[in-house]
Amino acid sequence: EDQVTQSPEALRLQEGESSSLNCSYTVSGLRGLFWYRQDPGKGPEFLFTLYSAGEEKEKERLKATLTKKESFLHITAPKPEDSATYLCAVQGPQAGTALIFGKGTTLSVSS
């Protein structure tokens, strides 16, 4: 069964304290791994898509990486406005089917 597990469930950081969020997955034939940001009471906002092991994508203080079993979302020198829930999702082998989501990591950054 295809599965996505995110850790930790919650993470508290001081402003400027870098860290990483983990997304491990089990899927037969990965066609894409997605990272989203979700603010309270809002819909998820797309951040990155990774397609193959070794691929990396960056956006401001965020950097996503992918291996054959997991993905990391690295947050460098976070600011309070980076506080949100970060969701990881995978696309299985059948094109057009829905994404499978993990439960998310809730990040809190204090100044």
Which DSSP category does 19 fall into? E
Nearest-approach distance from CB 17 to other proteins, in angstroms: 25
Nearest-approach distance from CB 29 to other proteins, in angstroms: 11
Question: String of b and e for 70-89 (b: at least 16 CB within 10 Å)?
Answer: bbbbebeebeeebbbbbbbb
Residue from 77, 23, 76 nearest 50 by CA: 23
Backbone angles phi, psi at 100, to 5 degrees: -105, 125
Q: Which is nearer to other proteins, 28 or 95 (CB)?
A: 95
Footprint on residues 29-58 left by other proteins (CB under 8 A) = 31-32, 34, 36, 41-46, 49, 51
Q: Which is nearer to other proteins, 2 or 76 (CB)?
A: 2
Footprint on residues 69-108 left by other proteins (CB under 8 A) = 87, 89, 91, 95-99, 101-104
Contact call for residue 12 and other proteins (CB under 8 A): no
Which parts of this chain interact with other proteins (CB under 8 A)?
Answer: 4, 9, 31-32, 34, 36, 41-46, 49, 51, 87, 89, 91, 95-99, 101-104
